[in-house]
Amino acid sequence: MVYHANYVKFLERARTEWLRAKGYEQRALLLSTGVVFAVYSMQLQFLKPARLDDALHVSVQLNSCRRASFTVSQSITDVRSGAQLCRAEVEIACLDQATFRPIPIPAELLMEIQR
């Protein structure tokens, strides 16, 4: 079986790829705007175990957006069976890299994640 902490890694990677697909790489965003994202809260439901060599699909869906944070729903599904293995609600804070204090999400990024 896949160790439960690995689900968090899978969810993190999916959020990174979700932003990349929208045209925003986190390292480039940091260098150009000083913005970093941090998980503020995460709720997980472990529904079924994944097993070694299972093909998994991890989804990301925007739930809500505020001035300096956004919330996504995520799901990990077994590709072969279609069974949902894990559900997550994740709140992401937009922070200033130098102070780690909340700052507004850059306007262009905000528009893109809301699409």
Instruction: Specify the pLDDT at position 115.
Output: 85
Residues 6+ apart with CB under 8 A from 15: 60, 72, 74, 90, 92
Q: What is the pTM of this model?
A: 0.92
**Residue keyed to tokens 């739930």:** 63
Instruction: Specify the pLDDT at position 52.
Output: 87
Task: For CA atoms 58, 62, 64, 68, give the dihedral sign.
Answer: positive
Instruction: Specify the pLDDT at position 2.
Output: 84
* Structure token pair of residue 70: 């956004």
pLDDT 10s per residue in the chain (115 long)? 888 889 999 999 999 999 999 999 999 999 999 999 999 999 999 999 999 899 999 999 999 999 999 999 999 999 999 999 999 999 999 999 999 999 999 999 999 999 8
Instruction: Specify the pLDDT at position 46.
Output: 95
CATH topology of domain 5-113: Thiol Ester Dehydrase; Chain A (3.10.129)
Domain parsing of the chain, residue ranges: 5-113
